[in-house]
Structure formats: structure tokens, C-alpha cells
Amino acid sequence: MDIYTIHAVLPQMKKQGKGIIYNVSSGVGITGFERLYGYASTKGAIEALTRSLSIEFEPYNICVNLIHPPLMNTRSASPLGVPQQIMEDPRIIGKKIAKKILSNQSFITPNFKTSLFVYFSRRYPKAIGKLMSKLAKRSV
């Protein structure tokens, strides 16, 4: 969700005494990625925004969560040079995330592999960012 949408739905959520807001993030928002500083910084901002709003809206029983999809095999991802073997099919991932959409977990991933990647990205952000950038360079 963007900030304008959150602002628009917040009064109704407060009135009904509950709600779930999902923001879509990316591993590069945690780790960084060579040549993607603009995208990575906006995803990092979404991470911080989500954590802040989660604290602020908790008294209203409104969950603010992150959806962390994996790197997907799309046209927009192809110029990155990431090996296709580690990218996921967006149709399959979309269905998996849709099944978890009413979850109130702080972050949602479509599968264990993505959860593991997010865990290690948060634990070792610079190392994972450098590794992913190196893999992309080799692939090109």
C-alpha cells in the first residue's frame, strides 16, 4: 500500500476496530544491490515505514505487515543479470502469497526458501547484498 492509500483507509479501520495493511518489500531493501540504489532505498524506506506504523497502529488492532516475495522471473528483473535458476515464477508465487493474505504475521513470504533468505538478509545484510551482486555480475 502506499501512504495515500493508508491515509484513506485508516479512519475506517480505526472505526471498525481492526484491519490489516500490507506493504510489499524486497530483499534489496535490506541488503542493497549494485546499480539498484534507488529501488533498494525505497524498499528500505518501506521496511522502516511498516515497522513504525505497526507500532503506532497496534492500539487500534491494526496490523501493518510486510510481504516479501522472492526475486521473480519477470521482464523487469531480467536486466539485473541474476541467474534464472534462482528466480521464481510470478504466477506460482502470487497464488502462494494469496493463500496467506489474512495472516497477521509481521512479514509474509510465499515459502520456506524465501523466509530463509529474509532471515539471512536481516542477519548478514552486507554479505548477502555483495553475494547477490556478484552472482548477477557472473551471470551477465
Cα distance from N-terminal residue to C-terminal residue, the chain: 33
51: CB partners within 8 A, 6+ apart: none
Q: Catalytic site residue 124?
A: no
What distance in Å separates the CA atoms of residue 50 and residue 70, rounded to the nearest whole number?
A: 18
Are 89 and 130 contacting, i.e. CB atoms less than 8 angstroms apart?
A: no
Q: 523487469: which residue's cell?
A: 76
The catalytically annotated residue of 4, 22, 39, 60 is 39
Q: Is 89 helix (H, G, I), strand (E, B) or coil?
A: coil
Catalytic residues: 39
